[in-house]
């Protein structure tokens, strides 16, 4: 794990160039020559469930891309609880606000085992001056964040809790190639929907009894049509 700096950098570039999901991440538009000109000390990390990626208000030196897994961004509340602001999934960027020289806005924590790449912000900024390709990707990410924020307000903070949960389950199920998806704990579900843990538990149990939701060994699957009819004032 403690290789010479230059070696490490080279590994990062090599790995990044061959990364199977590179089209999803920040460097999708970079040409071969961009890579050759710049040493990118990109490091892979694996987070176990419950492990923190960064803390709110911490001075940011890295930006992270999620290669696989699920990260929650949370905001502490006055009563000791927390509110989940957003989830990050494959291809999403974490800590992008560090590019402004600003501190991280959230507490970031893995919900399940999660694979990420860590990129120092100084490298992003030097890439920015050398190629316009990166700006486009960054702008796209900002745009994505805005869109996600809208989704969370319009779907997860609006209407009755049954409808909110239906929205959340559909959201979790989408963007998975498999029909099964990771179902967060009741406390996290509550923190995403702005409801209590107990209500979240009651609703999950109810959905399961009604056959809208099936669970097994930590994974879940849904009856899409049923959930959509709940949202449509069912």
Partner DNA sequence: CGGATCGTTGACAGGTATCAATGCTGGTGG
Partner DNA sequence: CCACCAGCATTGATACCTGTCAACGATCCG
Interface ranges with DNA (CB under 7 A): 160-162, 185-187, 194-199, 201-202, 204-205, 208
DSSP states of 102-130: PBP-SEEEESS-EEEEEEEHHHHHHHHHH
Smallest gap from Cβ 228 to DNA, in A, equals 18
Q: Which residues pair with 108 in a beta bridge?
A: 54, 73
- Number of Cβ within 10 Å of residue 212's Cβ equals 21
Interface with its own copies by CB under 8 A: which range of 39-47, 139-147, 172-180, 210-218? 139-147
Task: Give the residue, chosen from 6, 154, 175, 205, that forms a contact with its own copies under the rule CB under 8 A.
Answer: 154
The yes or no reply on residue 143 touching its own copies (CB under 8 A) is yes
Q: Draw the binding track, 70-89, toward its own copies (x: CB under 8 A; -: no contact).
A: -----x-xxx---x-x----
Count interface residues toward its own copies (CB under 8 A): 37
Tracing tokens 């890439």 back to the chain, one arrives at: 127
Strand residue runs (E) in 13-161: 43-47, 52-54, 62-68, 71-76, 82-88, 93-94, 107-110, 114-120
* Number of residues assigned to the chain: 234
Smallest gap from Cβ 7 to DNA, in A, equals 36
C-alpha 217 chain-centroid distance? 22
**Given the rule CB under 8 A, which residues bind its own copies?**
75, 77-79, 83, 85, 96-97, 99-100, 102, 105-106, 128-129, 132, 135, 138-140, 142-143, 145-147, 149-150, 152-154, 157-159, 194, 231-233
């Amino acid at each position: 794990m403690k290789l010479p700096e230059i070696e490490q950098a080279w590994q990062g570039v090599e790995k990044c160039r061959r990364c199977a999901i590179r089209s999803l991440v920040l460097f999708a538009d970079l040409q071969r020559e961009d890579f050759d000109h710049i040493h990118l000390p990109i490091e892979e990390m694996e987070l176990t469930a419950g492990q923190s990626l960064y803390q709110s208000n911490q001075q940011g030196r890295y930006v992270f891309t999620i290669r696989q897994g699920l990260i929650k961004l949370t905001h502490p509340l006055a009563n000791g609880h927390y509110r989940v602001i957003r989830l990050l999934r494959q291809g999403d960027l974490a800590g992008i606000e560090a590019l402004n020289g600003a501190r991280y806005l959230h507490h970031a924590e893995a919900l399940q085992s999660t694979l990420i790449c860590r990129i120092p912000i100084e490298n992003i900024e030097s890439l920015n001056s050398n190629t316009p390709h990166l700006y486009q990707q960054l702008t796209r990410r900002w745009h994505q964040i805005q869109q996600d924020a809208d989704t969370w307000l319009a779907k997860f903070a609006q209407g009755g809790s049954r409808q909110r949960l239906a929205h959340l389950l559909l959201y979790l199920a989408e963007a998975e190639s498999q029909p099964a998806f990771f179902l967060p704990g009741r406390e996290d579900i509550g923190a995403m929907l702005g409801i209590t843990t107990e209500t979240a538990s009651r609703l999950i149990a109810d959905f399961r009894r009604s056959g809208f939701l099936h669970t097994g060994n930590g994974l879940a699957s849904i009856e899409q049509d049923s959930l959509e009819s709940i949202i449509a004032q069912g």
